[in-house]
Amino acid sequence: MKLTRLKIGALGLMTLALTGCQAPKTSQSNTDNKGLMVHNQNVHIIENTRLSTVDISKVASFRMLTSSTEGLFRLGKNGHVALGLAESYKVSHAGTQYVFKLRPNARWSNGEPINAQDFVYSWRRTVTPSTHSVNANMFDGIKNAAAIREKRLPANQLGVKATAKKTLKITLDHPIYYFTRLLAYPLFAPQHQGMVATYGKQYGQSAAHQLYSGPFKLVKWHHNANSRTLEPNPYYWDRRHVYLHSLTFTCSKSPQQNLAQFRAGKVAEIQLIGDQIPKNEGDTDYVVRPFALMRFISYNFNTADKTIRKLIHIRAARLAITHAINRNDLIDHGIKTASLAPRGFVPAGLTNNNRTNADFADQNKYPGFVRDNRPKARQEWLQAKKILGKKDVTINLTTPNDPTSLAAAQNLQKQLQDTLPGLTVKVVSYQSDNTANVGLSGHYQLLLTGWGGRLS
């Protein structure tokens, strides 16, 4: 079952902004006024989601791999794209061919050289259908990628070729103006074929079952463990500019405990949620980081329950649900974050019009579908129940089990039940790091999920 099929009936809910506390900067020594770095800097960060794998072909969220994975480009100062493992590149006049020269000193974390063929292998592996990569569609635009994903061509027809040991040639179906930024995404990093062959299904499931191309390498972590530790990659080509002694990430779903650890100086950064935000927004450590993310409800039009399947196919039922939701109430009294109510399905701040510089979200507004209208919602719901032939309906709303998602689901449950007579909403939760598998499985009726602008 295709994920795109399941999301046809998506319902925009909100645009989220990342919010957190950040420890005071202590990276420079004041002893000699030369800006020397403090030795043995160890940074500890709290997250609300566990890492499920370090297999870049299969991981759903790459935010956790940016420290240990690098491709042809990397993100430099202020988020601008800078050369990574590539030393230089040329683009054809038509914008459909790129030729990259890799750095002579580009190496894996075990000291072996990183060559052009490592990129060829990685990309082919990701787009091969049997790999089951949830992000393989991001290769579309590279020659034959879509046809390979759809099993119409073999992976060796992908538009990527190692023309020399350190030379990589990429051919596109058409020009992609953001292509260099796309290549900074960890999905497009190299993979070590020998490691995949050696460990098979265990590849990427522990720190030792992977090699790393980025500035750090995992030294302590096991599949779905609640914490992981990274140390500098001694063979990283830009090792002299890696100043941290270690990075530790811990998954915790206790907001109060997280804040207490931050206040005690035990962690460098946490994410605030709920009532923590208004109580701490005046603190000098408080930072808001905008992120173009849209949360929405996905309807499963092929759910196994015949009654719910029929209900979901009734347009009036879907309209009733969207008109029953007050997005501002969801933000202010549900998730209690620095989020913004949506203007349509496009998140604010995702991208701008190249000519007018206007926010694309403003050019794609659908106020009639993202504003609550309770009287209209009740009328639509009564119409839907008449078509369905039922007075009472119970529907499952499946959600990740992180605190923010659970709070959103509970608020939605209340709003829908209070507005739509005869409707019972049952909240079903799952481990947050299993989002991609839940969506692909089709084992849900309504799914609280989201889409983030990875390249924004």
CATH fold for the domain made of 3-15+290-452: Dipeptide-binding Protein; domain 3 (3.10.105)
Tens of pLDDT, residues 138-192: 999 999 999 999 999 999 999 999 999 999 999 999 999 899 999 999 999 999 9
DSSP-assigned states of every residue in 347-366: PTTS-B-TTT--BHHHHT--
427 three-state secondary structure: strand
Q: What CATH class has 37-255?
A: alpha beta
pLDDT of residue 341: 80
19 three-state secondary structure: strand
pLDDT of residue 64: 82
- 10 Å CB burial of residue 168 (0-12, 13-18, 19+) is buried
- 10 Å CB burial of residue 453 (0-12, 13-18, 19+) is middle
CA distance 294 to 291: 9
Q: What is the mean pLDDT of the chain?
A: 86
CA distance 101 to 85: 9
pLDDT of residue 253: 79
Residues 6+ apart with CB under 8 A from 448: 13, 295, 296, 297, 298, 397, 398, 399, 400, 405, 408, 409, 412
Which of left, alpha, beta for 237 (phi over 0: left; psi -120 to 50: alpha)?
alpha
Q: How far, in whole angstroms, is CA 92 from its chain's centroid?
A: 32
Residue 435: name the closest of 11, 51, 24, 23 by CA.
51
Q: Residue 38: pLDDT above 90? A: no
- 10 Å CB burial of residue 33 (0-12, 13-18, 19+) is exposed
Lowest model confidence (mean pLDDT) among 147-156, 275-284, 393-402: 275-284
Which segments of the chain belong to CATH 3.10.105.10? 3-15+290-452
- Mean pLDDT value across residues 263-267: 88
Written in H, E and C, the secondary structure of 214-259 is CCEEEEECECCCCEEEEEECCCCCCHHHCCCCEEEEEECCCHHHHH
Q: Residue 456: pLDDT above 80? A: no
CA distance 370 to 144: 38
For residue 58, CA distances in Å to 61, 333, 383 come to 9, 36, 43
Tens of pLDDT, residues 183-219: 999 999 999 999 999 999 999 999 999 999 999 999 9
Reported as type and span, the H/E element at residue 87 is strand 86-91
- Mean pLDDT value across residues 284-290: 81
pLDDT of residue 436: 66
Lowest model confidence (mean pLDDT) among 65-69, 245-249, 264-268, 388-392: 264-268
Q: What percent of the chain has pLDDT over 70?
A: 89
Which segments of the chain belong to CATH 3.90.76.10? 37-255
pLDDT of residue 347: 73
- Mean pLDDT value across residues 130-140: 94
pLDDT of residue 31: 39
The CB density around residue 349, as the number of other CB atoms within 10 Å, is 18
pLDDT of residue 223: 77
Tens of pLDDT, residues 92-117: 999 999 999 999 999 999 999 999 99
Residue 52: name the closest of 61, 40, 44, 43 by CA.
61
- Structure tokens given for 200: 């098979």
The CB density around residue 1, as the number of other CB atoms within 10 Å, is 11
Amino acid at the residue 136: A
Q: Where are the beta strands (DSSP E) in 4-50?
A: 11-22, 42-47
